[in-house]
Amino acid sequence: MRPAAILAARGVPGFVCFGHPMKLRNIAIIAHVDHGKTTLVDKLLQQSGSFRENQRVEERAMDSNDLEKERGITILAKATSVVWKDTRINIVDTPGHADFGGEVERILSMVDGVIVLVDAAEGPMPQTKFVVSKALKIGLRPIVAVNKVDRPDARINEVVNEVFDLFAALDATDEQLDFPILYGSGRNGWMSTSPDGDQAEGLAPLFDLVLEHVPQAKTEEGPFRMLGTLLESNPFLGRIITGRIASGTVKPNQQVKVLDREGKVVETGRVSKILAFRGLERQPIDVGEAGDIVSIAGLVKGTVADTFCDPQVETPIQAQPIDPPTVTMSFIVNDSPLAGTEGDKVTSRMIRDRLFKEAEGNVTLKIEEAADKDSFYVSGRGELQLAILIETMRREGFEIAVSRPRVVYEKAEDGSILEPIEEVVIDVDEEHSGSVVQKMSERKGDMLEMRPSGGNRLRLVFHAPTRGLIGYQSELLTDTRGTAIMNRLFKAYEPFKGEIAGRRNGVLISNEQGEAVAYALWNLEDRGPMMIEPGWKVYQGMIIGEHNRENDLEVNVLKGKKLTNIRTTSKDEAVRLTPPIRMTLERSLAWIQDDELVEVTPKSIRLRKAVLDPNDRKRAERAKEALSA
- Give one DSSP letter per residue of 71-137, joined into a string: HT---S-EEEEEEETTEEEEEEE---SGGGHHHHHHHGGG-SEEEEEEETTT-S-HHHHHHHHHHHH
What is the reported pLDDT for 469? 86
- The domains of the chain, with CATH numbers, are 22-213 (3.40.50.300), 225-309 (2.40.30.10), 410-495 (3.30.70.240), 507-594+606-628 (2.40.50.250)
The reply to whether 260 sits in an annotated binding site is no
DSSP tag of 320: P
User: Residue 74 is which amino acid?
Assistant: T
Average the pLDDT over 37-63 and give the result: 62
First to last CA, the chain: 91
Is 441 a residue whose pLDDT tops 70?
A: yes
Tell me the whole-structure pTM to 2 decimals.
0.78
What is the Cα–Cα distance from 545 to 507, expressed in whole angstroms? 6
pLDDT band at 6 (very low <50, low <70, confident <90, very high): very low
Q: Where are the beta strands (DSSP E) in 172-279?
A: 181-185, 190-192, 225-227, 230-234, 238-247, 249-250, 255-259, 265-270, 273-278
**What pLDDT is attached to residue 234?**
77
pLDDT band at 14 (very low <50, low <70, confident <90, very high): very low
Q: How far, in whole angstroms, is CA 5 from its chain's centroid?
A: 43
Show the CA angle centred on residue 601, arms to residues 596 and 603, nearest 5°. Answer: 125
- Position 36 scores a pLDDT of 75
37 among annotated binding-site residues: yes
Q: Which of 103-117, 254-268, 432-446 has the lowest mean pLDDT?
A: 103-117
Angle, CA of 94, 132 and 471, to the nearest 5°: 70
DSSP states along 194-209: STT--GGGTTHHHHHH
C-alpha 467/C-alpha 382 separation (Å) is 10
Residue 35 among known ligand-binding residues: yes
Residue, of 102 and 428, whose pLDDT is higher: 428
Q: What is the mean pLDDT of the chain?
A: 83
Distances (CA, A) of 513 to 3, 221, 460, 488, 495: 76, 70, 48, 41, 46
Mean pLDDT, range 558-566, rounded to an integer: 74
pLDDT digits (tens, 9 = 90+) for 458-485: 889 999 998 888 878 778 888 888 888 8
**39 among the known binding-site residues?**
yes
Give the whole-angstrom CA distance, residue 206 versus residue 45: 13
> Is 148 known as a binding-site position?
yes
CB contact at 8 A, 587 and 598: no
pLDDT confidence of residue 393: 92
Please report the pLDDT score of residue 8 as a whole number.
41
Cβ-count burial of 187 within 10 angstroms (0-12 exposed, 13-18 middle, 19+ buried)? middle
432 in a known ligand binding site: no
Does position 48 have pLDDT exceeding 60, yes or no? Answer: yes
Query: Please, what sign has the CA dihedral across residues 71, 72, 75, 80?
Result: positive
DSSP reduced 3-state for 545: strand
Average pLDDT over residues 439-455: 86
For residue 105, pLDDT beyond 80 = no
Q: Which residue has the higher pLDDT, 198 or 592?
A: 592
Amino acid at 16: V
The Cα–Cα gap between 247 and 227 comes to: 11
The answer to whether 362 and 370 are in contact (CB under 8 A) is no
98-102, 393-397, 525-529: which range is least confident on average? 98-102
Most confident of 103-112, 124-133, 441-450: 441-450
Taken in order 575, 581, 584, 590, is the CA torsion positive or negative?
negative
Of the pLDDT bands very low, low, confident and very high (cuts 50, 70, 90), residue 268 is very high
Q: For residue 550, is pLDDT > 50?
A: yes
More confident residue, 419 or 384: 419
What distance in Å separates the CA atoms of residue 246 and residue 293, rounded to the nearest whole number? 10
Which phi and psi (to 5°) does residue 521 adopt? -65, -40
- CB of 180 closer than 8 Å to CB of 215: no
**34 is an annotated ligand-binding site residue:** yes
pLDDT attached to residue 570? 53
**Does the annotation list 129 as a binding residue?**
no
Q: In this predicted model, which residue has the larger pLDDT, 6 or 366?
A: 366
Q: How far apart are CA 473 and CA 591, in angstroms?
A: 11
Local confidence band at 63 (pLDDT 50, 70, 90 cut-offs): very low
Q: Is 415 annotated as a binding residue?
A: no
The model's pLDDT over 298-353, given as tens digits with 9 standing for 90+, comes to 888 888 888 999 999 898 888 777 777 889 999 999 999 999 899 899 999 999 99
- More confident of the two residues 205 and 197: 205
Tell me the C-alpha distance between 219 and 541, whole Å: 62
CA nearest neighbour of 606 among 542, 519, 547: 542
Convert 434-459 to b/e letters by CB count within 10 Å (16 or more is b): ebbbeebeebbbebeeeeebbeebbb
Does 32 belong to an annotated binding site? no
Q: Which class for 469: exposed (0-12), middle (13-18), buried (19 or more C-beta within 10 A)?
A: buried
Arithmetic mean of pLDDT, 156-183? 90
Please tell me the distance from the alpha carbon of residue 249 to that of residue 292, in angstroms, as a whole number. 10
Q: Which residue has the higher pLDDT, 610 or 50?
A: 610
Residue 516: pLDDT band (50, 70, 90) is very high
User: Can you give the pLDDT at residue 52?
Assistant: 47
Whether 384 shows a pLDDT value over 90: the answer reads no
Residue 11 has a pLDDT of 43
Average of per-residue pLDDT across 273-280: 84
Beta bridge partners of 185: 190
Q: Rg for the chain (alpha carbons), in Å?
A: 28
